[in-house]
Amino acid sequence: MSTSSLSASPVPEMSARRPALLVAAMVGGVMTAMIVEIMLARRGLMLTGVAQGVTRGGGTQMHAALAWWAITGAAFVAGFAIAAITSRVKWLYFRPLRWVAAAALVLALAMIADLIPPVQADAATRHALATLAALAVAMLMAGFGAFFAVRK
């Protein structure tokens, strides 16, 4: 009996885990983008407000670029980091830690979501569409970050 026939190759294991790894990194990137968007809104950089400044030629073009780049950049970095860490660490031994980390994440997101500033009733549709567009771009960027982290 040869030992090579009994040992499993690490390549099929990684290829089987890869879609789940990419999805987890993309979800983490979008969650990070949501947090960044909330923090920017707390500082007065609403996505709808900066979009109006760009279309009217106001002085907020730099604010618009900063808001969009911050959201998509944070999603890219988070997707890359999550994919890089989870692809290189054996999580079997960290099972109890995963539950603690998930509970801490839920509590942190609940506290951050409480910080969302209210939106005027007439601007709710524009705000929802701008946020949806920003999160769609963030999901794409998080996917790119995850792909670059796990490619060979």
Tell me the pLDDT tens digit for each residue of 87-136: 887 767 777 787 787 788 888 888 887 777 777 777 778 878 888 998 99
**pLDDT bracket for residue 7 (50, 70, 90):** very low
> Does pLDDT of 140 surpass 90?
yes
| 107 burial via Cβ count (<10 Å: 0-12, 13-18, 19+) | exposed
Q: What is the pLDDT of residue 30?
A: 92
Query: What residue numbers bound the domain in which 127 lies?
Result: 14-150
Contact (Cβ atoms closer than 8 angstroms) between residue 48 and residue 127: yes
Angle among Cα 89, 139, 126 to the nearest 5 degrees reads 150
Residues 6+ apart with CB under 8 A from 49: 60
The reply to whether 101 falls in a domain is yes
**What confidence tens digit (pLDDT) does each residue in 25-77 have?**
999 999 899 888 888 888 877 776 654 555 565 556 677 678 888 999 999 99
Model confidence at 12, pLDDT cuts 50, 70, 90, reads very low
Within a domain: 41: yes
* Reported pTM: 0.74
More confident residue, 121 or 141: 141
Question: Is the residue at 3 inside a domain?
Answer: no
pLDDT at site 76: 95
Residue 115 lies in a domain: yes
Scan for tokens 């400044």, then name that residue. 53
Strand ranges in 46-130 using DSSP code E only, listed in sequence order: none
Residue 33 lies in a domain: yes
- Each residue of 37-49: pLDDT tens digit? 888 888 877 776 6
Query: What is the mean pLDDT of the segment spanning 2-25?
Result: 64
| Other CB atoms within 10 A of residue 48 CB | 18
Give the chain's domain count.
1
Q: Is residue 91 part of a domain?
A: yes
Spatial separation of the C-alpha atoms in residues 54 and 145, rounded to whole Å: 28
Domain assignment present for 6 = no
Whether 111 maps to a domain, the answer reads yes
